[in-house]
Chains A and B, each alone.
Chain A
């Protein structure tokens, strides 16, 4: 599965808008993840996960920055996220099922923030993009 030219164009153009609130988007996606899928909190026993916490905001910003890196290198996401991929495989070892959950919450966050832009085509493009990112992050697992 790979992005068409049109889908890449949608992602790039929407990222222009998203990037002005990237930290808030990343943070809200995590809040949604922990609220809807409490089992995901098991990966963060060392964090204060209350909404608005500094930990959440810092981590949300990290997630958003990584997505930004992927967008900037949309033709070589594997290259852009190679170090992150290794980290997830050897250090973090987050079960692969959780990437779908966070991807869904990112989609929901984008949908709620950008109603005019979140057309059916944009929905598809983002779903595919996040799917590709998830694949890259789990590709070194075994």
Chain B
């Protein structure tokens, strides 16, 4: 068995096929900045982040969220080699962006909350469990090249 069982892959791909990646990206990044305001430290140039409404409607937040989640989505296509898939991005986040990997874990869990919010009862415990593995795998892959 690779990283996910065949059943878990089915659950993840089944749900992900219905996700509006651009929108969910903006939503997830926005909520990260609202719920964990210290994460705003990486986005000083993003303009108005003064309230939940300002953050959630901020066009730079939406654009960046879209970028992040499209990258996550690409990673899902290489689910059995996440470390390989995210190697370059890992180096970038360490060497240029100086992002503490704890932030990847926070964003992963916010993404899970957003998926639960969107999909309600379809985001059942088994689907959640499969996604928790995915977000943990992506977070670890993004931290893998840190030095």
Contact = CB atoms under 8 A, between A and B. Distances in A.
Interface of A: 28, 31-32, 35-37, 51, 104-105, 107-109, 111-113, 115, 118-121, 123-124, 127
Contacts of A120: 30-31, 34-35, 52, 55-56
Contacts of A105: 128
Interface in B13-58: 30-31, 34-35, 52, 55-56
A51 to B, nearest CB: 7
Which label, helix, strand, loop or mixed, suits the secondary structure of the B interface?
helix
B113 A108 contact: yes
Contacts of A123: 31, 34-35, 113
A108 B122 CA distance: 12
Contacts of A28: 125
Nearest to B119: A112
Contacts, number: 58
Given A121-B52, A124-B35, A111 B117 contact: yes
Nearest to B33: A120
Nearest to A124: B35
B123 interface: yes
Interface residues of B, number: 23
Contact of A36 (B31, B52, B132): B132
A79 to B, nearest CB: 27
A35 B125 contact: yes
A121 B31 CA distance: 9
B124 to A, nearest CB: 8
Given A32-B129, A35-B129, A112-B123, 16 more contacts: A28-B125, A31-B125, A32-B128, A35-B128, A37-B132, A104-B109, A104-B112, A108-B113, A111-B113, A111-B116, A111-B117, A120-B52, A121-B34, A121-B52, A123-B34, A124-B35
Contacts of B114: 111
Nearest to B118: A115
Nearest to B136: A36
A107 B117 CA distance: 10
B35 A112 contact: no
